[in-house]
Amino acid sequence: MLKIMRVLGSFCLLISIAFSLGAQSATSTPNSNPNIYLDNIKEELVKEWPNNRTINLVFHGHSVPAGYFKTPVVNTLAAYPYQVLQELKELYPTAVINMINTSIGGEHAISGAKRFKKEVLTHRPDVLFIDYALNDLRHGLSASKTAWSKMIKAAQHRGIKVILLTPSPNLKFDILEEVHILAKHAQQVRDLAKSFNTGLVDSYLLFQQKAQEGVDLRAFMSQGNHPNEKGHGLIATALLQFFQ
């Protein structure tokens, strides 16, 4: 009898585990899958006049999305927001797309959160991209997390699709090491994307993979902390996966 009870107990445990895993799978949002995250936006982008509407893409962040290359030069049209816009017009020739850039050179997430309602939400984004981690180093993980969370919550409250970006490189830090503060900020952005079920473009990982392949990252940089057109292209290509 004891043996039978043990067998039944093990069987019940297996059933419980299987049910739990099934429930998690059914309720989780695959934010890492760019093929489906923006399905509702892609449905709008293929519509033709007079049934289409303007789609607003808002890029909020620091000097990289603002287009700073080798400071003080601002190469606006080669920065990833405009690379994305150009490619989107190839993909969706009948779409009306506004690319709105609220990024400010030198800014961090705390400052970005303070002007978020007045200068970002006012544009009524359909998709919001947030890229601040490179400049968040000066304020630490905790304060930065609070600021990012505030912006994400405010956007999601209005039904806005949010895509977070991990930092592009700063050549002062070895991108192959995981112990320094920039790597920790990259991980924090990944954690935020998972926690809030947002989209994620892991810029840091893209450049890290290039370094792992033996590529000198200076080939992708205009200066130590700003990508060049090729570096912006890496980020733009990843962003475009959400629209394809």
Q: Are residues 26 and 44 in the same domain?
A: no
Q: Are residues 109 and 120 in the same domain?
A: yes
Among residues 19, 18, 112, 28, which one has the least CA distance to residue 63? 112
Q: Are residues 20 and 141 in the same domain?
A: no
Q: Are residues 40 and 24 in the same domain?
A: no
Q: Are residues 26 and 85 in the same domain?
A: no
Residue 32 pLDDT: 55
- Contact, 127 vs 90, CB < 8 A? no
Q: Are residues 71 and 181 in the same domain?
A: yes
165: domain CATH number?
Answer: 3.40.50.1110
Residue 132 pLDDT: 98
Secondary-structure breakdown of the chain: helix, strand, coil percentages, each rounded to the nearest 5? 55, 15, 30
Q: Are residues 147 and 116 in the same domain?
A: yes
Q: Are residues 138 and 20 in the same domain?
A: no
Residue 33 pLDDT: 83
Q: Are residues 25 and 38 in the same domain?
A: no
Per-residue pLDDT of the chain in tens (244 residues, 90 and over written 9): 333 333 334 333 333 333 333 333 322 344 558 899 999 999 999 999 999 999 999 999 999 999 999 999 999 999 999 999 999 999 999 999 999 999 999 999 999 999 999 999 999 999 999 999 999 999 999 999 999 999 999 999 999 999 999 999 999 999 999 999 999 999 999 999 999 999 999 999 999 999 999 999 999 999 999 999 999 999 999 999 999 9
The residue segments making up the domain with residue 148 are: 32-243
Q: Are residues 5 and 59 in the same domain?
A: no
Residue 28 pLDDT: 31
- The pTM score is 0.86
**What is the Cα–Cα distance from 209 to 162, expressed in whole angstroms?**
25
Q: Are residues 96 and 213 in the same domain?
A: yes
Residue 48 pLDDT: 97
Q: What is the DSSP letter of 31?
A: T
Q: Are residues 2 and 71 in the same domain?
A: no
Q: How many domains does the chain have?
A: 2
Residue 16 pLDDT: 35
